[in-house]
A and B are shown apart, each in its own frame.
Chain A
Amino acid sequence: MAGKSTYKPSTGIERWFDERLPVIRVMHDQFVEFPTPRNLNYWWTFGGILMFCLFVQLVTGIVLAMHYAPNENLAFDSIEHIMRNVNWGWLMRYTHAVGGSMFFLAVYIHILRGLYYGSYKAPREILWILGVIIFMMMIATAFMGYSLPWGQMSFWAVTVITNLFGSFDALVPGLGTAIVEWVWGGFAVGNPTLNRLFSLHYLFPFMIVGVVLLHIWALHIPGNNNPTGIEIKAKKEALSFHPYYTVKDAFALSVFAILFAGFVFYAPNVLGHADNYVPADPLVTPAHIVPEWYFLPFYAILRAIPSKLFGVIAMFGSILVLVIVPWLDTSRVRSASYRPIYKWFFWSFVVTGIALGYLGAMPPEGWYLIFGRAFTLYYFAFFLIVMPLVGLIETPTKMPGSITEDVLERSKGAAPTAEGAAASGAPAAPEKR
């Protein structure tokens, strides 16, 4: 879909630029004229929403860093200083804290959309893997960011998670301990740890920006997948990105922003944990150490495995397995809409994710642990067994021959022929959808 450039520099200054650094041409080709399948549904708006989330986190984060003190004796009070004495500091801080949750909500929807519609399948494997890398960097960034208030939950989350590397002692005696002390910068979680977490928390988002640009580049080579999973066959099956998808993305973003603002202004602390308003105390362990909600499924997987080392491997494996999804899925059909068996497994996977999230917040004992193990088993079985096997045995349902056919099937009162739909730019009869 990269195709030939349709940009025509119309003014002298545009021609001057075009011969030297064709940024206007690139913007025009990639974000104005860019051919986009005409049948994208609202699940496709989360890419734009994620760009918005990243932007919000960067802006609020940079402002917060102007007032924050990454020191174990000052961090907690400096955040309260932001909340109390810095102009609009409370808004910056609550937006940043809620923004993390919104970012993960959007990315989970975005990933599940990709899984459902087979957006990882050839020729979009690199696009997908870049997405997994962004997701892993987001996890690291969010974890480090959560440590910065240096409240009880910050401190103990850092302690628990960094201690995971200690499990390597089971492989090579002393290796795990050496890694943990190297990560801490000392013999316990302390000031050097907080300092490096802050430094890296500031660095990672810019690395994410870089990978996001690659992600968009990799998207703009094959172009968007779409709900049918059928590639664009004719020019008329695509719309220019602007104004069709700019306006659709903008509308979806505005609805998302209502939800976002609802949390920021009316329930800014509901997604957090009360213990993080208690300053870090290495001598007092909280009754329950739990991560933020968006890490709970992975936390449940970690605790489902009786061995520490294998728990750590399973937790990292549960994310890394996404990398090989393009090769695990053997189906010839991309979209789960035409996959009667896989569809059920997919929705079971969604339920599994939610269930693991719930179990991650519960103590790992009794039935919680048994269900935690069962769902962990399904989590991996979905990728390692269901994806390869179902693709081989399943007969896809009847698919439309093309995007045009699909669009015409769906839209009532449309012209009877595909050609009718192609009257580009001409105002069509007012239609009721």
Chain B
Amino acid sequence: MRNLANRLLCLTIAAALAGLALSAPVKAAEEDTVIVDQSWSFTGPFGTFDRAQLQRGFKVYQEVCASCHAMHLVHYRNLGESGGPEFSEAAVKAIAASVEVEDGPDDEGEMFERPGRPADAFISPFKNAQEARAANNGTVPPDLSVIAKGREHGVNYLYSLLTGYVEAPADYGLSEGMFYNTAFPGHQIAMPNPLSADVIEYTDGTPPTVENYAKDVSAFMMWAAEPKLEKRHRIGFRVMVYLILLAGFLYVAKRRIWARIDH
């Protein structure tokens, strides 16, 4: 009887939470956007990032995205940290040194430029939102640091967006200087199609297709948004094992103590 109540309780909680998880994100008025779900190495309780993919994704970011989008929460040092692209120390230094960073003021009170260091945050392409807006047809390109968590459908949305550029349907009144995208809510997007085949050189034999570029850079965005994901999964497993054992021991203890009396 008590066993049953026990199980019912667990089941109820599990069901309630499953319900919550499903109902929490608003699915309301989901338009006719097309989201293509991909399989990713980092999903699931044991998921890890694919280092080579992150390194390729960084290259796509660096050569394409970075010319308009900031990523100010990520630092060059992060590129060499465990659980990320894991570039070598020398590579991180070289990547950082390839940019000019404004520093200062110096002893004369002047700002000055110097080569980047691993401790610097990713440099932004524009000085401020106004400059970004002026240079981009009136739209500020969003910062990409947490973009993979800041959109419904996360990385799948990013992949779908990057591969979702098509000709606008004839009856769609596209505004001047805007583009049509199947994944973007409302379909009218200010960002021109950023990717085309063969624009970025891959050195590891991965075919230089739009799909691969999109997938790699989306994975890179996911890492940028969630740099502790691997550590979280790893520690989570230990915590779960510990808690399940603890619950087992406590259950036995409870049975033994309550066996002393009728109840």
Contact = CB atoms under 8 A, between A and B. Distances in A.
Interface of A: 38-39, 41-43, 77, 80, 83-84, 90-91, 94, 101, 105, 109, 239, 243-244, 247-248, 250-252, 254-259, 261-275, 277-279, 287-288, 290, 292-293, 296, 354, 357-358, 361-363, 407-408, 410-411, 414-415, 420-421, 423-428, 430-431, 433
A274 B1 contact: no
Contacts of A361: 23-24, 26-28
B174 interface: no
Contact of A433 (B1, B28, B149, B227): B1
Interface stretch (B85-93, B97-105, B230-238): B230-238
Contacts of A254: 243, 246-247, 250
Contacts of B13: 105, 109, 256, 259
A42 B29 CA distance: 40
15 contacts: A77-B73, A247-B254, A250-B254, A251-B251, A256-B13, A261-B236, A261-B239, A262-B240, A265-B232, A277-B149, A277-B225, A293-B20, A361-B24, A407-B262, A428-B260
B145 interface: yes
Given A275-B150, A277-B149, A433-B2, A244 B23 contact: no
B244 interface: yes
B180 to A, nearest CB: 19
B150 to A, nearest CB: 4
B5 interface: yes
A247 B16 CA distance: 25
B17 A105 contact: yes
Contacts of A270: 21, 24-25
Nearest to B237: A265
Contacts of A421: 261-262
Contacts of A293: 20, 23-24
A247 B250 contact: yes
B260 A426 contact: yes
Interface string B5-39: 11001100110110111011111110000000000
B146 interface: yes
Contacts of A279: 143
Interface of B: 1-3, 5-6, 9-10, 13-14, 16-17, 19-21, 23-29, 45, 73, 78, 142-143, 145-147, 149-152, 154, 185, 225, 227-228, 231-233, 235-237, 239-240, 243-244, 246-247, 250-251, 253-254, 257-263
Contacts of B147: 277
B254 A425 contact: no
Given A247-B250, A288-B28, A255 B10 contact: yes
A261 B240 contact: yes
A156 to B, nearest CB: 13
Q: Which A-B residue pairs are the 6 nearest by beta carbons?
A: A265-B236, A277-B150, A254-B247, A251-B250, A421-B262, A277-B149
Contact of B25 (A109, A273, A354): A273
Nearest to A368: B28
B262 A248 contact: no
A362 B28 contact: yes
Nearest to A414: B262
B29 A287 contact: yes
Contacts of B251: 251
A84 B84 CA distance: 12
Nearest to B25: A273
Given A80-B146, A427-B260, A271 B24 contact: yes
Contacts of B28: 288, 361-363
A261 B241 CA distance: 11
A227 to B, nearest CB: 10
Given A77-B73, A430-B259, 19 more contacts: A39-B263, A80-B145, A83-B228, A251-B251, A254-B250, A265-B232, A265-B236, A271-B20, A274-B150, A277-B146, A277-B149, A279-B143, A288-B26, A292-B24, A293-B20, A354-B19, A358-B23, A361-B27, A415-B262
